[in-house]
Chain A
Amino acid sequence: MPRRDLLFRMRRLRAVEETIAARYAEGRMRCPVHLSTGQEAVSAAVGLVLRPTDLAVSGHRAHTHYLGKGGSLTRMLAEIYGKATGCSRGKGGSMHLIDETVGFKGSTAIVGGTVPIGTGLALSIKRRGSDQIACVFLGDAVVEEGVFFESVNFAAIHRLPVLYVCENNLYSVYSSLAVRQPAGRVIHEMVAGLGIRTGTADGNDPEAVFASCVEHVRAIRSGGGPSFLEYKTYRWREHCGPNFDNDIGYRTESEYLAWKERDPVATYARRLLHDHELTEDDIEAMDREIAAEVQEAFVFAEASPFPSVETAGDDVYAGGVKPA
């Protein structure tokens, strides 16, 4: 179990998301942001299990999926700042991240929209006879979309090398599971009924996520067809934006505090300290390294030039103007 790595990755993801939250009010990140604070364990662990050559897609809340897969932090922040150096050169913003160099094939804003895309990547991978896999990050609302069923159905028929990673954070914007899915629904059990291998683990425990993911990725890579993994977790901040919104009435402060007690980052740090895996000094050193990287990335993003307005019409079709 790569314990230090898991902790480092979670602390890094937390630092990025919380720095975005802290600086959002400056008004220079002028696009919607969907932060994953509280959900870091899944991105940290799954990203560690996947190989750089594996492919991944995600949805609107994708910062940590992108970073977990190895996506460039500087280019992500530059994208959120709308800069020419952004990973999508200012065309996409926070909801449209891409880093082809590490197999992060794209995140998009429409709920469930990339589930068939990731499934199609797996179809092509299988056709090519490669041992890569495709990973689709999705949330609990995605399993309410038609394309989810259509995609899983096809992946099951063709035994495609695709891993569906569902972060069940209980809410779709302000709508709770109670109004969206029947009482007693267990998402991974429902998906098992579609005929693919499924699993679940504590989404706030990076080791549990890591272990389940390793097992399923091994099965997929050895030709065993698709897997679906459900991880329950909790987003701390509002659906979209930098603030806390436990006061507006769709969920309770006590629910939030109960999940905060189970903070994946702090809990795991305590566990590693308890196990003498590392010391307080080690964690401080980690945080210093992370803070320096994040600080540098924000400086890069802020200092980068905006794209020229004349480029707003570029890249409508493939073969448009390419970067140097």
Chain B
Amino acid sequence: MKRILTYAEAINEGITIAMQREPGMLCFGLGMDDPKRIFGTTVGLVEEFGRERVFDIPTSEAGMTGIAIGAALDGTPCLMTHQRLDFFILALDQLVNNAAKWQYMFGGQSASVRLVIRLILGRGWGQGPTHSQSLQSWFAHIPGLKVVMPAFPADAKGLVLSGIADGSPVVCLEHRWLHNVQGPVPEGDVRVAIGTAAVVSPGTDVTIVAMSYMTIEAHHAAQFLRAAGISVELIDLRSIRPLDWGTVLGSVRKTGRLLAVDTSHAMCSVASEIVATAACECFAELKSAPMRLTLPDHPSPTSPALAEKFYPRAEDIVAAVGRLLDVRLDGSPLAAARRWPHDVPGDWFKGPF
């Protein structure tokens, strides 16, 4: 019988195994050992590994990122966690000018930067303009960084383990709405290779490429579409950089139809990159114009009234697939089946964080 864990438990297990494997590794971030334990992802760490290795930090995103890079350059792998990606914007200089380029700008003559930075993406319950940004395309633009966005618990654990083992800095974007998602997780040091996508469900009519929480919405849409006789191949990117072009383009060549679903705005997005590459590489095989499903071109509003249509849901994916196939598809039963308000991921979520 398969062991079922939540996404938060799986992250926690991945960190725990990495800390056991690497006696020198440090784990820090604001609230790392606070009573809430970062949505449960750092439960038990300080108890098992002590305050020398697992610690809370000053409110110094940039400085602490540089400090993590420096420690890594001396052979001390570091895992940092930020409860909201938006605050980490303060640290971009250290990430982009130092972490990402240290290997390159010294011609490979330096020590490696073994650093994993967990960034949690907020959404819903009025997180608003500066608590909900999904900036994977910023990070993915930078040579030298690796960027992962797991959707399922086993991948979250496996990518954290691979990230700590990697000699290059890894940015791990973790969607807040995934923390309670349950799924089978193998025991032990089972890694997921960075740069590999997963085919969540094989299909022949349409390729949907998604990442992070949008993979979950796309999964619901794909099941609904299957019942309607439409065969969807759902690809969960898992890694944004390096991106598994073989899997993505292979699927597009097979189905001839592409919908790229992103957690962010369209302009210069990962979805845009996927559509562009598919158009350049698979033009002859495309049966219809590829599509993107992204956020509106404005910041996330706070009021639940204003935010109601901000995030695409499974029913929007169903409708988009209908446009790809030039058939009218009504996904409203998916919306009707949802028993909780639009701004929470489930009835377990009571806010406010």
Residues of A near any B CB (own CB < 8 A):
55, 57, 86-92, 96, 98, 100, 105-106, 108-110, 113-125, 127-128, 134, 146-147, 149-151, 153-154, 157, 314-323
Q: Is B93 an interface residue (CB 8 A)?
A: yes
Q: At the interface, yes or no: B58 with Cβ under 8 Å from chain A?
A: yes
A120 & B68 in contact (Cβ 8 Å cutoff): yes
**A118 CA / B70 CA spacing, docked (Å):** 6
Q: Which residues of A contact B44 (CB under 8 A)?
A: none
Would A154 and B60 be within 8 Å (CB), given that A106-B106, A115-B66 are in contact?
Answer: yes
A113 close to B98 (CB less than 8 A)? yes
Kindly state the separation between the CA atoms of A128 and B69 in the bound complex, as whole angstroms.
16
The bracket for how many chain B residues form the interface is 35 or more
Most chain B CB atoms below 10 A, which of A92, A123, A147: A147
Q: Are A120 and B66 in contact (CB under 8 A)?
A: yes
- Decide: A116 and B65 in contact? CB cutoff 8 A: yes
In contact, B106 and A88 (Cβ under 8 angstroms): yes
User: B108's closest neighbor in chain A, by CB?
Assistant: A315
Decide yes or no whether B230 CB sits under 8 A from chain A: no
**Contact across chains for B58 and A157 when beta carbons are under 8 A apart:** yes
Chain A interface: which of B71-79, B210-218, B257-265, B323-331? B71-79
Of A57, A118, A123, most buried by chain B (CB within 10 Å of CB) is A123
Given A150-B62, A154-B67, decide whether A100 and B109 contact each other with a Cβ distance below 8 A: yes
Q: Indicate which residue in A151, A317, A318 contacts B66 across the interface (CB closer than 8 Å).
A: A151
Chain A residues contacting B62 (CB-CB under 8 Å) are 116, 146-147, 150
Q: In whole angstroms, how far apart are the Cα atoms of A150 and B144 in the complex? A: 25
Inter-chain contact total with CB atoms closer than 8 Å: 170
A92 touches B107 (CB 8 A): yes
A88 touches B109 (CB 8 A): yes
**In angstroms, how far is the closest chain B Cβ from the Cβ of A118?**
6
Q: Which residues of B contact A122 (CB under 8 A)?
A: 70
Judge whether A121 and B63 touch: CB under 8 Å.
Answer: no
Cα A102 to Cα B244 with chains together (Å): 40
CA distance A98 to B102 in the complex (A): 10
**B109→A153 contact, CB < 8 A:** no
> Chain B nearest CB: distance from A194 CB in Å?
12
B299 within 8 A of A: no
B305 CB within 8 Å of chain A = no
Q: Say how far A162's CB is from chain B's closest CB, in angstroms.
A: 10
B36-78 interface bits toward A, Cβ cutoff 8 Å, 1 = contact, 0 = none: 0000000000000000100001101011111111111111100
B75 neighbours in A (Cβ, 8 Å): 124, 128
Note all chain B residues with C-beta closer than 8 A to A124. Answer: 24, 70-76
Using Cβ atoms and an 8 Å threshold, which residues of chain B touch A113?
66, 93-94, 97-98
Query: What's the least CB distance linking A157 to chain B, in Å?
Result: 7
- Taking the closest CB of chain B, its distance from the CB of A92, in whole angstroms, is 5
Q: In the docked arrangement, what's the CA distance between A225 and B218, Å?
A: 53
How near does chain A come to B314, taking the closest CB pair, in angstroms? Answer: 36
Contacts of A153 in B (CB 8 A): 58, 60, 63
Chain B residues engaging chain A, CB cutoff 8 angstroms = 24, 26, 52, 57-58, 60, 62-76, 93-94, 97-98, 102-113, 143-144, 146, 166-168
Closest to A123 in B: B71
Q: Which residues of A contact B73 (CB under 8 A)?
A: 105-106, 117, 120-121, 124
| Cβ-defined contact, B108 with A89, below 8 A | yes
Q: Is the CB of A92 within 8 A of B105?
A: yes
Q: List 30 A-B contacts (CB under 8 A).
A: A87-B109, A88-B105, A91-B106, A98-B106, A105-B73, A110-B97, A110-B98, A113-B66, A114-B66, A116-B62, A116-B65, A117-B98, A119-B63, A119-B66, A120-B70, A120-B72, A124-B74, A124-B76, A127-B24, A128-B24, A128-B74, A151-B63, A153-B60, A153-B63, A154-B57, A154-B67, A318-B103, A318-B167, A319-B112, A319-B167
The one of B26, B93, B108 in contact with A320, judged by C-beta atoms closer than 8 angstroms, is B108
In the complex the two chains form, what is the Cα distance from A151 to B62 in whole Å? 9
Write out the residue numbers on chain B whose beta carbons fall within 8 Å of the beta carbon of A127.
Answer: 24, 26, 52, 71, 76
A21 to B73, alpha carbons, bound, how many Å?
A: 33
Across-interface contacts of A57 in B (CB, < 8 A):
70
By a CB distance below 8 angstroms, the chain A residues around B67 are 116-117, 119-120, 123, 151, 154
Find B94's partner among A106, A116, A118 (CB 8 Å cutoff): A116
| A88-B107, A100-B109, A110-B97 known, 4 other contacts, Cβ within 8 Å | A105-B111, A115-B66, A118-B70, A318-B168
Q: Which residues of B contact A322 (CB under 8 A)?
A: 108
A118–B113 Cα distance when bound, in Å, is 14
In the bound complex, what is the Cα–Cα distance between A124 and B72 (angstroms)?
A: 8
Partner of A108, one of B52, B97, B168: B97
CA distance A134 to B67 in the complex (A): 12
Complexed CA–CA distance, A121 and B146 (Å)? 23
Complex Cα distance, B98 from A147, in Å, reads 13
Q: Which residues of chain B have C-beta atoms less than 8 A from A108's C-beta?
A: 97-98, 105
Closest chain A residue, CB of each to CB of B52:
A127
CA–CA, A48 to B103, complex, Å? 28
Among residues of B, the one whose C-beta sits closest to the C-beta of A312 is B104
A-side contacts of B94, CB under 8 Å: 113, 116, 147
> In the complex the two chains form, is A91's CB within 8 Å of B107's CB?
yes
Given contacts A110-B97, A113-B93, contact A100 B63 (CB under 8 A): no
- Please indicate the chain A residues that have their CB under 8 angstroms from the CB of B58 in the complex: 150, 153-154, 157
Nearest B residue (CB) for A75: B109
For the complex of A and B, list the 6 residue pairs with the smallest distance between their C-beta atoms, beginning with the closest. A120-B70, A116-B66, A150-B63, A318-B167, A89-B107, A124-B74
Kindly identify which residue among B26, B108, B146 contacts A323, using a CB–CB cutoff of 8 Å. Answer: B108
Question: Smallest CB–CB gap between B146 and chain A, Å?
Answer: 8
> CA–CA, A89 to B109, complex, Å?
8
